[in-house]
Amino acid sequence: MSSGVLSETSRDTRGSSTTKDPVPSVADAFGSLVFTDAEQERRLPKTVHQALRRTITRGEPLDASVADAVASALKDWAVEHGATHYTHWFQPLTGITAEKHDSFLAPTSDGRAVAEFSGKELVKGEPDASSFPSGGMRSTFEARGYTAWDPMSPPWLLKFGGAVTLVIPTAFVSWTGEALDKKTPLLRSMEAISTQAVRVLKLFGSHAERVVTTCGPEQEYFLIDREFYLSRPDLINAGRTLFGAKPPKGQELEDQYFGAIAERAMAFMSDVETELYKIGVPVKTRHNEVAPSQYEIAPIFENANVATDHQMMTMETMRRFAPKHGLACLLHEKPFAGVNGSGKHLNWSMSDDRGHNLLSPGTNPHDNLQFLVFCTAVLRAVNKWQGLLRASIASAGNDHRLGANEAPPAIISIFLGDMLTDIFEQIEKGRAKSSKQGGVLDTGVLVLPKLPRDTGDRNRTSPFAFTGNKFEFRAVSSNQSIAYPNIALNVAVTESLDYMATQLEKATAAGKSIEAAVADLLPKVIKENKRIIFNGNNYAKEWEKEAVKRGLLNQKNTVEALPNLIAKDVIGIFEKYKVLNEREVHARYEVMVETYNKTVNVEGQLMVLMANRYILPATFEYQKQLAQAVSAVKAAGGRSVEGRKTLDRLTKLADQFKGRTDKLEKALGHEGHGSAEQHAKHFRDVVVPAMSALREIGDELEAIVPHNIWPLATYREMLFIK
């Protein structure tokens, strides 16, 4: 039974503790720490297993007796693998993930302890919810919340620090049923899009009962030596460098992209991948990215709910494993100013319960027609709900990418590629109808040539690109959970599919064929929404001007973008499709504004600290050395012209630097009884510029103060020593 535990023990007695376990093959390792479907089937009575499958595949409620049986099997499996504790793992409104560990052991009346785990403990947990941000939701109602098992995402074992813990993925809700997390609305949004997509599929004669959204997030990140990381308070506490002059050798050489992966980084990746395989995350690709010391990891796509959990696990695992290799893993969107930042490309599609990708062009006119309807629905969704999409990726960190000196810009647009754009243009111009072949739609339009798969790199500047059989939301930040952008997309496309389905149902009910109904509808929808299509260089200045002409939003920062979330029509669709009610939307908005304020505040405080306690003392030290050198030269009867000049320049910079530090400190001290929004505006308009102004002088000082005195690791060291 406990073969895993036994064999490990026997290995330990055979060799020294440094003997390495034989490396298991990838296939053996994959999912070995997951309570997989196969494991469930093996351990559960048939009826229980079937009931559980129905819950997983059709969302049917789980009854108490089934939960008890599942809990018991799950506990046995976990204990056999050495687990002593279990945790309900969830995704609160801020932060990454949260967990509270409880022991399986329960005391017995005769003073012993036995491993216990009931269905109730599996299904429902009570974390101390008061410490999690709720955007004011709980204060007005019930002060507690509970975590509820998400049977769709399988439990796994976390082996860390010598402990083995059973991790149960859960949703976090208040006792009044309001969502206190990111998973609950994600699940609701997947339900909503399924309902509308099935309506459209039905019009095309499909018998599909459910549609799931699929996603494959590509994660970019930096790896730097941990010693450097530990020497920088800004990296430790803000995740990015707040000072730092550009390195002499920049990424402009572009010899990094797809280049050889340094040995330490390779060892780290291999370790992370092995661990992720074991806990069931299907990671697939790894490569160097554009910037020096920047890398990417990407999984094979999965159901969006599981993919979202797996993405959190990926980030956690990377953070956890880096120190083992003497590295620090930086997930911030812009750890180094002037160097390419990190994003997370969210590849997104819809798939029916037979596994057909709904965004894959078909091989016959009928399938192509259906593909065009789904594709047009996304086009309309992104145009109509661009504000919501923009807000879903807004954060203080992402402000350094979007709308700053980096692509993609803050303007949301769609890259369709030349061929699909051409097809859309033809449909819009109504060429379809003037077909000589007599059909309702020109088959020349409808029988699409097999679309060549656009590699994601064809247009690296677009925030939202069609890449052959999926869309890729590229403006997502490296540091964020993919839950919000997924939810935003799902809700937007749900509304769009609802609109399309309603129009098409009306037309077909009036006797039109589905082909004719589509031929009537598409040109109109394309005409109304085509302004969102842009295949050019999104980084160019002209695009900004062009976008203004087209009436597209260009919200350059979080403070500007977040109010989109609480716009009346946005709340309207969240409520209509039962994804979030008005209070739940507001709660998320409030937490996002607060998070922005806290982030900028921490960064500002850190800069003041680093200025006063690191950079100024070093500057004064050099000033002293220079002054002594100038005096010494004078005493020896000479004149140190250059020494004098440097000293003057240094003195001037030091004074300026201190002046700007004090100014920043004052800006941060701004007290006021304003709203969170007013604080946010103050941070954006006063604090952020004061930070930039201070940094400017700090970076100038870095170029003058000798290396042996400069107290911070430099960009050159951090980025090029591997």
Work out whether 298 is an interface residue with ligand ADP (CB under 6 A): yes
CB 518 within 8 A of CB 372: yes
Comparison of 218 and 498: residue with beta carbon closer to ligand ADP: 218
Least distance (Å) between residue 153 CB and Mg ion: 24
Residues 442-481, mask of contacts with ligand ADP (x by CB under 6 A): -------------xx----------x-xx-----------
Work out whether 428 is an interface residue with ligand ADP (CB under 6 A): no
Tell me 657's DSSP state.
H
Residue with tokens 């509970």: 146
Q: Which stretch binds Mg ion (CB under 5 A): 67-75, 341-349, 392-400, 525-533?
A: 341-349
Residue with tokens 């996002």: 592
Both tokens of 697, joined, read: 């002088």
Least distance (Å) between residue 279 CB and ligand ADP: 17
Comparison of 92 and 456: residue with beta carbon closer to ligand ADP: 456
Work out whether 463 is an interface residue with Mg ion (CB under 5 A): no
CB within 8 Å of 18: residues ≥ 6 apart: none
CA distance 328 to 316: 12
Comparison of 299 and 485: residue with beta carbon closer to ligand ADP: 299
Residue 300 interacting entry, from Mg ion, ligand ADP, none, C-beta within 5 to 8 Å by type: ligand ADP
CB 396 within 8 A of CB 688: no
Neighbours of 199 (CB within 10 A): 17
Least distance (Å) between residue 562 CB and ligand ADP: 27
Comparison of 334 and 345: residue with beta carbon closer to Mg ion: 345
Which residue's C-beta sits nearest to ligand ADP? Answer: 216
Least distance (Å) between residue 186 CB and Mg ion: 22
Out of 215, 410, 441, 493, the only residue in the binding site for ligand ADP (CB under 6 A) is 215
The β-bridge partners of 352 are 211
- Omega within 30 of 0 (cis) for the link into 299: no
CA distance 579 to 585: 9
Work out whether 64 is an interface residue with ligand ADP (CB under 6 A): no
Out of 105, 300, 703, 709, the only residue in the binding site for ligand ADP (CB under 6 A) is 300
CB 455 within 8 A of CB 470: no
Residue 469 interacting entry, from Mg ion, ligand ADP, none, C-beta within 5 to 8 Å by type: ligand ADP
Number of DSSP helices (H) and strands (E) in the chain, helices first = 27, 16
Residue 357 interacting entry, from ligand ADP, Mg ion, none, C-beta within 5 to 8 Å by type: ligand ADP
Residues 204-243, mask of contacts with Mg ion (x by CB under 5 A): --------------x-------------------------
List helix spans (H) across 86-182.
119-123, 137-140
Comparison of 351 and 392: residue with beta carbon closer to ligand ADP: 351
Residue 463 interacting entry, from Mg ion, ligand ADP, none, C-beta within 5 to 8 Å by type: none
Work out whether 345 is an interface residue with Mg ion (CB under 5 A): yes
Give the CA radius of gyration of the chain: 29
Q: Which stretch binds ligand ADP (CB under 6 A): 36-44, 73-81, 212-220, 657-665?
A: 212-220
Comparison of 134 and 349: residue with beta carbon closer to ligand ADP: 349
CB 590 within 8 A of CB 676: yes
Q: Is 535 helix (H, G, I), strand (E, B) or coil?
A: coil
Our CA dihedral for 390, 392, 397, 402, rounded to 10 degrees, sits at -20
Residue 146 interacting entry, from ligand ADP, Mg ion, none, C-beta within 5 to 8 Å by type: none
Tell me the helix, strand and coil percentages in the chain, rounded to 5. 50, 15, 35
Q: Nearest-CA neighbor of 310 among 283, 288, 348?
A: 283
Least distance (Å) between residue 345 CB and ligand ADP: 7
Work out whether 456 is an interface residue with Mg ion (CB under 5 A): yes
- What are residue 188's phi and psi, to 5 degrees? -65, -40
**Pairing relation of β-strands 105-107 and 98-103?**
unpaired
Out of 165, 196, 214, 305, the only residue in the binding site for ligand ADP (CB under 6 A) is 214
CA distance 304 to 188: 12
CA distance 189 to 601: 33
Both tokens of 188, joined, read: 């609701």
CA distance 300 to 221: 18
Least distance (Å) between residue 595 CB and Mg ion: 27
Q: Which stretch binds ligand ADP (CB under 6 A): 21-29, 72-80, 190-198, 209-217?
A: 209-217
Comparison of 464 and 614: residue with beta carbon closer to Mg ion: 464
Residue 392 interacting entry, from Mg ion, ligand ADP, none, C-beta within 5 to 8 Å by type: none
Least distance (Å) between residue 457 CB and ligand ADP: 7
Residue 349 interacting entry, from ligand ADP, Mg ion, none, C-beta within 5 to 8 Å by type: ligand ADP
Least distance (Å) between residue 298 CB and ligand ADP: 4
Q: Is 683 helix (H, G, I), strand (E, B) or coil?
A: helix
Both tokens of 312, joined, read: 């959190």
CB 263 within 8 A of CB 326: no
Comparison of 148 and 465: residue with beta carbon closer to ligand ADP: 465
- What are residue 380's phi and psi, to 5 degrees? -65, -40
Work out whether 470 is an interface residue with Mg ion (CB under 5 A): no
CB 143 within 8 A of CB 155: no
Rounded to 5°, angle at Cα 411 from 410 and 416: 125
Comparison of 38 and 300: residue with beta carbon closer to ligand ADP: 300
Out of 299, 397, 604, 698, the only residue in the binding site for ligand ADP (CB under 6 A) is 299
Q: Which stretch binds ligand ADP (CB under 6 A): 32-40, 210-218, 386-394, 686-694?
A: 210-218
CA distance 168 to 588: 24
Residue 118 interacting entry, from Mg ion, ligand ADP, none, C-beta within 5 to 8 Å by type: none
SS (H, E, C) 213-247: EEEEEEEEEEEEEHHHHHCCHHHHHHCCCCCCCCC
Q: How many residues bind ligand ADP (CB under 6 A)?
A: 17
Least distance (Å) between residue 359 CB and ligand ADP: 7
Residue 455 interacting entry, from Mg ion, ligand ADP, none, C-beta within 5 to 8 Å by type: ligand ADP
Residues 334-373, mask of contacts with ligand ADP (x by CB under 6 A): -------------xxx-------x----------------
Neighbours of 166 (CB within 10 A): 27
Q: Which stretch binds ligand ADP (CB under 6 A): 26-34, 78-86, 296-304, 625-633?
A: 296-304
Comparison of 219 and 661: residue with beta carbon closer to ligand ADP: 219
- What are residue 214's phi and psi, to 5 degrees? -115, 150
CB 719 within 8 A of CB 292: yes
CB 340 within 8 A of CB 290: yes
In 338-436, beta strands by DSSP E? 344-352
Comparison of 82 and 282: residue with beta carbon closer to ligand ADP: 282
Least distance (Å) between residue 213 CB and ligand ADP: 8
CB 435 within 8 A of CB 442: yes
CA distance 276 to 686: 43
- What are residue 431's phi and psi, to 5 degrees? -55, -30
Least distance (Å) between residue 357 CB and ligand ADP: 5
CB 505 within 8 A of CB 199: yes
Which residue's C-beta sits nearest to Mg ion? Answer: 456
Least distance (Å) between residue 216 CB and ligand ADP: 3
Comparison of 92 and 456: residue with beta carbon closer to Mg ion: 456
Q: Which positions touch ligand ADP (CB under 6 A)?
A: 214-216, 218, 298-301, 347-349, 357, 455-456, 467, 469-470
Q: Which positions touch Mg ion (CB under 5 A)?
A: 218, 345, 456
